[in-house]
Amino acid sequence: MSIGVGEYLALASVLFGTGAVGFLVRRNLLIQLMSIELMLNAVNVVWVAFNRFYPERHDGQIMAFFVVAIAAAEAAVGLAIVISLYRLRKTVETDKADALRH
C-alpha cells in the first residue's frame, strides 16, 4: 500500500481548514496564533509532499525551511504583542484589543 500525493494534500487541507476555522471563530489571541501556526504547518506538509514525489529537486524542503523560519519570527512578534496587550488590558481577547495605548 502506497501513500500518494492526494493523501498528503487531503491531510494538509484538513489541517489548513482546522486552522482557518480556529482563527475565525475563536476570540482568544493565543488560540488565533496557534491556528496560524497550524495553517503554516499545513503548507509545510504540501511542500514536503511534493518534494517527496520529485526527489531530484529540493525546492520543497527549501521552502519548508523558510516557512519554519517565518513561523518562528511570527511567534516571537505575536507573543510580544500578546504580552503587551495583557499588560495593558489584563485580557488576551481580540475584541478588547482595539488599541495598545492608554
Q: Where are the domains of the chain?
A: 5-93
For 75, the enclosing helix (H) or strand (E) is helix 59-89
CB 85 within 8 A of CB 41: no
Between CA 60 and CA 47 the distance in angstroms is: 4
- Would the pLDDT of 41 be above 90? yes
In this structure, of 12-16, 88-92, 94-98, the range with the lowest mean pLDDT score is 94-98
Average pLDDT over residues 71-81: 91
Confidence bin at 96 (pLDDT 50/70/90) = confident
pTM for the complete prediction?
0.84
Angle at 101 between CA 38 and CA 84, to 5 degrees: 40
Pick 5-93's CATH classification: 1.10.150.170, 1.10.287.3510, 3.40.109.10, 3.40.50.280. Answer: 1.10.287.3510
pLDDT category of residue 99 using cuts at 50, 70 and 90:
low
